[in-house]
Amino acid sequence: MGLVMSSRGCPYSCTFCATNRNQVSFRSPDHIISEIRFVKEHYKTTQFTFKDDSFTVNRKRIFELCKKLIDEKLPIKWECNTRVNLLDEQMLRIMKKAGCNFIKVGIESGSERILSDMNKGITHDQIRIAAKLFRKVGIHWTGYFMIGVPDETEWDIRRAIDFLYEIEPDFAVIGIYDLFPGTVMWEDGILRGIVNPNMDLEDFYTNLPNFYYKKDFNHQNDKISPEKFAKLESEVKEIVRNYNRNFFRVFKMARAKLPVYWYDSKVLWDDVKKYLSY
Ligand code: SF4
């Protein structure tokens, strides 16, 4: 897999995110393509990932880049992360034509209240619209969910599962929230008595998150007891694991990767081994 950064930064201000805000710097399409070509030639890479925080933040640039990728006719596929409010049908179609086979978007929460607290700047309706567009255009998509943020209740967490089955991404990821110094949620965590305010930068670099930021290792959230949260966490993770194991979904993922298997049959073999190990 080839990892490429085509831009850096994000203009949004989600309260949990440690990404540099406001200023976004972009590389030119020619510069990006020359890197892709170099990696392709030297390492025979067939699947690339744009690691940008919000790949489609600049619509005009995406169209320029995609047009150039189409003209280049490179035998590669690529994926990216973005936001549901930064997509439209025309853009998805040109991205697909330019080789995009996977898109990953943050859903974050099944609870509108928590989504709004996170200052994510998207609504469930926008997510529903994007889900329909992904299906219409035929691009494999992943939805990222997160649980364990301050102020979240058991009800909010269970909404993640309801919403997962409502929007039905082709693949789902559920993460447990980690606090990052400098974020709004970090400051909020201090006020709520979850975060250890005495943590210094050295701890941040040398310890695992659970050991450096929490006052109490087991205390993830201020509304749910540690025992209850541990139970909920394993229950929700198991549901998501089963959701992803569904044969139809695995088949869709394999279908999205068919060209990559065609370019390099070793990737197919690696994926079969991965599936069997589930
Ligand atoms: S979560 Fe995504 S959209 Fe929000 S600030 Fe971070 S990078 Fe930007």
If we measure between CA atoms, which residue out of 23, 64, 65, 71 comes closest to residue 48?
A: 65
Asked if residue 12 has its Cβ within 6 Å of ligand 1, the reply is yes
Rounded to whole angstroms, how far apart are CA atoms 11 and 22? 4
Best of 5, 7, 10 for a ligand 1 pocket test (most atoms within 8 Å of beta carbon): 10
Q: 262 pLDDT band (50/70/90 cuts)?
A: confident
Choose the weakest-confidence range: 2-11, 154-163, 170-179, 203-212.
203-212
Provide the 10 A C-beta neighbour count for residue 25: 9
| Helix axes of 59-72 and 29-43: crossing angle, nearest 10 degrees | 40
Q: What is the pLDDT of residue 208?
A: 77
* CA-closest residue to ligand 1 atom 3: 12
CB-neighbour burial class of residue 245 (10 A; exposed 0-12, middle 13-18, buried 19+)? exposed
Going by pLDDT thresholds of 50, 70 and 90, the confidence category of residue 1 is confident
pTM above 0.75, yes or no: yes
Q: Using a 6 Å cutoff on CB, does residue 106 contact ligand 1?
A: yes
Residues in the chain: 278
The pLDDT value given to residue 248:
93
Give CA–CA dist 153/158, Å, rounded. Answer: 9
**Is any atom of ligand 1 closer than 6 Å to the C-beta of 48?**
no
**Cα distance between residue 119 and residue 124, in whole Å:** 13
Contact 219, 192 (CB under 8 A): no
Q: Please, which residues have CB within 8 angstroms of residue 26's CB and are 6 or more apart in sequence?
A: 6, 7, 58, 61
Mutation test of ligand 1: which of 17, 117, 185 has the most ligand atoms closer than 8 Å to its C-beta? 17
State the Cα–Cα distance between residues 232 and 229, nearest whole angstrom: 5
Q: Is the pLDDT higher at 258 or at 19? A: 258
Residue 15 confidence class, pLDDT cut points 50, 70, 90: very high
Distance CA 171, CA 101 (A): 13
Nearest CA to ligand 1 atom 4: 14
Question: Residue 199 has what pLDDT?
Answer: 76
Task: Ligand 1 pocket test: pick from 7, 8, 51, 54 the residue with the most ligand atoms within 8 Å of its Cβ.
Answer: 54
Q: Give 195's DSSP letter.
A: B
Q: Are 18 and 184 in contact (CB under 8 A)?
A: no
- Structural domains in the chain, CATH included, are 2-176 (3.20.20.70)
Cβ–Cβ under 8 Å, residues 47 and 4: no
Determine the Cα angle at 115 with ends 109 and 120, to 5°.
115
Q: Tell me: the pLDDT tens digits for 49-65?
A: 999 999 999 999 999 99
When pLDDT is averaged across residues 206-230 and rounded to a whole number, the result is 83
Quick one: residue 112, left, alpha or beta (phi over 0 = left, psi -120 to 50 = alpha)?
A: alpha
| Ligand 1 centroid – CA 19 distance (Å) | 7
Amino acid, res. 250 = V
Q: How far apart are the first and last CA of the chain?
A: 21
